[in-house]
Amino acid sequence: MIVDIGLIALVLAFASALYGVSAAIYGGQNHRPDWIASARRAALTITPLLTIACLTIIISNLGNNFNLEYTYRVNSRGMPTVLKFTSLWGGQNGSVLFFGWLMSLYIFFLFVREWRGNRALQPWVLAVSLGAQLFFLVLTMFFANPFARLWLDANGSPLAAVFQPSGTIPYMPPDGLGLNPLLRHPGMIIHPPMLYLGFVGLTIPYAFAMAALLGGSTASDAAWIKATRRWTLIAWAFLSMGLLLGGRWAYDVLGWGGYWGWDPVENSALLPWLTATAFLHSVMIQEKRGMFKIWNMILIVLTFCLMILGTFVTRTGVISSVHSFARSSLGVPFLLFTALILLGSAALVVLRWNYLKSENRLESPWSRESAFVLNNFLFLTITFTVFLGTYYTMFSELIVGQKLTIGPAVFNQLIGPQVTALVLLMGIGPLLAWRKSSPQALGRMTQKAGLIAVFVVAVLFLSGIRAFGALAGFGVVTYAGLITLEEIYHGVRARMKLSDESLFVALSRLIARNRRRYGGYVIHLGVIFMGLGVIGTTMFQQETEQPLRVGESITLGDYTITYQGSELYVPENEPDKTVFVGHVLVSVAGGPPEAMTPYREVFQQGGGLLPPALRSTLTEDLYILFTGEESGFGTLKVYINPLVNWLWIGSIVLIVGTLLAMWPSGAGAAVAVRAPGQIIVGEAGK
């Protein structure tokens, strides 16, 4: 049977990983290239094997093979084909396998080409990355096996086991339970793979960092830090996309008018993103000046630990209740693995302390180096705050038996000022030169932006905005945004003066010539735009909810929304779902009415979705929800989300900037230097 093939493939992948780790360690310790090459070949077999394992699950899902416990849990006969396909990652056991498969893809792409990096690093990168892979394969095989099948015991009650327990007969339920309704939205199909790609991608930088400690010599310094930076950037890009898609998905289907709820699951994905962002900044000090090596190492370790912790939290639900830890089969192995990584990495950093010492010193508090130090300080306090807010209830439940809910109000108060300071630094940091600069120079360069920002704040104040947070936020965003734009403009002007290029040509060549710097600026601009959206929605959101008879209206802001009645239907391809559609007419400032149809989906299994009808402009979104009709009253809930579109625009800008920064250097765009024993370095102008 096809499922048996999958199980065999999984076992072989496990064996490959186990062998690979051992061979890599042996080869590394005894300087045996043949063993290292063998470990590499073992690593390369894992992806094909896990691909087979995943395919057999997909085939089982497509073929309604409900004898497989996993297919029974996440599939049903009525489900559309595309969902049967994506339900590979729609349930716990499948997603752990999928997670391992994605990790194997990274390892595959890292090792498929001849190793061009430092020779001394290779066995240890192999050993550490395969070690992480092995952990997820252990989870898949022994704690969350998607190949378990259903059996009926002598009493006729079903049970799940990989191999047939004695005295049982195979059991094939007539239909499956079906995919969790929340996961049927297209956003939920793309969002988890993106997030997972971000998560597993962090394994590679961690492997490089550990390799530098395990087998490192000073010669390998430049090699590991460059490779680590590049792979972190790739993982960071996926993680950012995963987070942003998750936010958009929440905005589009959950029906609470927002996109980020400071939910433990969201936070646990944000935490490694925060430390990875800190690393991507401070790594530049190490590359340029050979400083902060220990610190960068700590950031990499922290990022990887937070990733494992985040996976642990989402897979076991430990925060919502400490008791779910015991219920989940994954709890203990995850805890052990996290402890192993933390202690192991900490021990290595301490052992190699001398090797990690700085080559240079800070020379002036007014320097790019100091700006990066401050950047790391802010990222770390934000990380600590989010960590505390997320895990506080776990500690309070464990220690004093008191469960708590830490809602957005707490996070906004604690995080708001820190993020404002970070955005301010984001504006002025890039202006500071390496080594030495002066406050006077900084003042000269930022005075225009400062004046305009003060003017903007004054106008906002006169127009009636009194909230200090909003004024400070808009002021800082304006200031930092203008400085960033000015920086790009100076580069463009220099090019235009020099080579008579048009604005557009100058801009695109400027970026192409130094993608790392200008990609960074584009990312910063994305953050500025997102900041506008965040301030608008958190400080100025309006909402109202009213039960209305047909023909009655509610007014919010400039909008008049008239209820026109409702209807309900059951979609043919999803018979377990009922859709309630509300019909409304929206008129803006007394203008001609437009028809809009918010709806609510209710699922037989319970739960449902509440997608809004959106009227989206650059200034604000009108967000209408229809929660249902009862005794002649249709209930409408209406939000006005000011500037929220800038959040999505900023997201796209951020992703574009990331792509610019990480796109492999093409010919002509970079001066590629291939030093012996080093990976390719030296994009132009770095």
Partner 1 sequence: MKRVGLLVSLLVGLLAGLLVVASVSAQTPTPNRRPNPDDVNRVAKKLYCPVCENEPLNVCQTPACVQWKAQIAQYLAEGKSDDEIVQIFVDQFGLVVQGEPPFSGVTVLLWIGPIVFALLAGFYTIRLIRRMAARPARGTPPPVEKPASTGDRYLDQVESDLKQRL
Q: Is 610 in the site for partner 1 (CB under 8 A)?
A: yes
Q: Is 686 in the site for partner 1 (CB under 8 A)?
A: yes
Both tokens of residue 575? 């018979």
Judged by beta carbon, residue 88 or residue 318, the one nearer partner 1 is 318
Q: Which helix (H) or strand (E) holds 596?
A: strand 594-596
Q: Is 540 in the site for partner 1 (CB under 8 A)?
A: no
Residue 219, helix vs strand vs coil: helix
Judged by beta carbon, residue 28 or residue 612, the one nearer partner 1 is 612
- CB neighbour list of residue 286: distance below 8 Å, 6 or more residues apart: 225, 292, 293, 296
Which of residues 405, 463, 502, 631 is near partner 1 by CB under 8 A? 405
For the window 612-641, what string marks contact with partner 1 as x by the rule CB under 8 A?
A: ---------------x-------x------
Q: How many other CB atoms are there within 10 angstroms of residue 336's CB atom?
A: 11
Q: Is 495 in the site for partner 1 (CB under 8 A)?
A: yes
Both tokens of residue 2? 């096809």
Q: Is 384 in the site for partner 1 (CB under 8 A)?
A: yes
Smallest distance, Å, CB 506 to partner 1?
9
Judged by beta carbon, residue 235 or residue 449, the one nearer partner 1 is 449
Q: Which helix (H) or strand (E) holds 93?
A: helix 92-111
Residue 643, helix vs strand vs coil: coil
Both tokens of residue 206? 């961690």
DSSP 40-51: HHHHHHHHHHHH
Q: Is 256 in the site for partner 1 (CB under 8 A)?
A: yes
Which of residues 414, 456, 581, 614 is near partner 1 by CB under 8 A? 414
Both tokens of residue 599? 């709806």
Q: Is 373 in the site for partner 1 (CB under 8 A)?
A: yes
Judged by beta carbon, residue 121 or residue 423, the one nearer partner 1 is 423
Q: Is 407 in the site for partner 1 (CB under 8 A)?
A: yes
Question: Residue 307: which region, alpha, beta or left (left: phi > 0; alpha: psi -120 to 50)?
Answer: alpha
Beta-bridge mates of residue 297: none
Smallest distance, Å, CB 578 to partner 1?
14
- CB neighbour list of residue 128: distance below 8 Å, 6 or more residues apart: 206, 207, 210, 211, 214
Taking alpha carbons only, the member of 208, 203, 200 closest to residue 225 is 208
Smallest distance, Å, CB 491 to partner 1?
6
Q: How far apart are CA 186 and CA 578, in angstroms?
A: 18
Which of residues 180, 320, 541, 553 is near partner 1 by CB under 8 A? 320
Residue 99, helix vs strand vs coil: helix
Binders of partner 1 among 328-367, rule CB under 8 A?
Answer: 360-365
- CB neighbour list of residue 449: distance below 8 Å, 6 or more residues apart: 427, 478, 479, 482, 483, 486
Strand ranges for 495-558 from DSSP E: 542-548, 553-556
Q: Is 437 in the site for partner 1 (CB under 8 A)?
A: yes
Q: Which helix (H) or strand (E) holds 657?
A: helix 644-662
Q: Is 409 in the site for partner 1 (CB under 8 A)?
A: yes
Binders of partner 1 among 127-166, rule CB under 8 A?
Answer: none
Judged by beta carbon, residue 18 or residue 442, the one nearer partner 1 is 442
Q: Is 419 in the site for partner 1 (CB under 8 A)?
A: no
Which of residues 157, 217, 447, 499 is near partner 1 by CB under 8 A? 499
Sign of CA dihedral 658, 659, 662, 665: negative
Smallest distance, Å, CB 534 to partner 1?
19
Which of residues 370, 541, 560, 587 is near partner 1 by CB under 8 A? 370
Taking alpha carbons only, the member of 382, 344, 392, 17 closest to residue 209 is 344
Both tokens of residue 644? 């929220």
Q: Is 545 in the site for partner 1 (CB under 8 A)?
A: yes
Q: Is 589 in the site for partner 1 (CB under 8 A)?
A: no
Smallest distance, Å, CB 383 to partner 1?
10
Q: Is 671 in the site for partner 1 (CB under 8 A)?
A: yes
Sign of CA dihedral 678, 680, 685, 686: negative
Total chain residues near partner 1 (CB under 8 A): 69
Smallest distance, Å, CB 364 to partner 1?
5
C-alpha R_g of the chain: 27
For the window 236-255, what string marks contact with partner 1 as x by the rule CB under 8 A?
A: ------------------xx
Smallest distance, Å, CB 312 to partner 1?
17
Binding part of the chain for partner 1, among 12-20, 334-342, 410-418, 582-590 by CB under 8 A, reads 410-418
Q: How far apart are CA 189 and CA 196, in angstroms?
A: 12
Q: Is 513 in the site for partner 1 (CB under 8 A)?
A: yes
DSSP 276-309: HHHHHHHHHHHHHH---HHHHHHHHHHHHHHHHH
Q: Are 372 and 432 in contact (CB under 8 A)?
A: no
Judged by beta carbon, residue 146 or residue 257, the one nearer partner 1 is 257
Which of residues 396, 560, 578, 605 is near partner 1 by CB under 8 A? 396
Residue 641 CB-half CA count within 13 A: 27
Q: Are 608 and 181 in contact (CB under 8 A)?
A: yes
Smallest distance, Å, CB 445 to partner 1?
6
Q: Is 680 in the site for partner 1 (CB under 8 A)?
A: no
Binding part of the chain for partner 1, among 24-32, 93-101, 452-460, 542-550 by CB under 8 A, reads 542-550
Q: Which helix (H) or strand (E) holds 19?
A: helix 2-30
Q: Is 608 in the site for partner 1 (CB under 8 A)?
A: yes
Strand ranges for 91-171 from DSSP E: 149-152, 158-161, 169-170
Q: Is 441 in the site for partner 1 (CB under 8 A)?
A: yes
Q: How far apart are CA 187 and CA 526, in angstroms?
A: 21
Judged by beta carbon, residue 58 or residue 441, the one nearer partner 1 is 441
Q: Is 512 in the site for partner 1 (CB under 8 A)?
A: no
Q: Is 447 in the site for partner 1 (CB under 8 A)?
A: no
Binding site for partner 1 (CB under 8 A): 254-257, 261, 263-264, 320, 360-365, 370, 373-374, 377, 380-381, 384-385, 388-389, 392-393, 396, 400, 402-410, 414, 418, 433-435, 437-438, 441, 444-445, 490-491, 494-495, 497-499, 513-514, 543-547, 608, 610, 627, 635, 671, 684-686
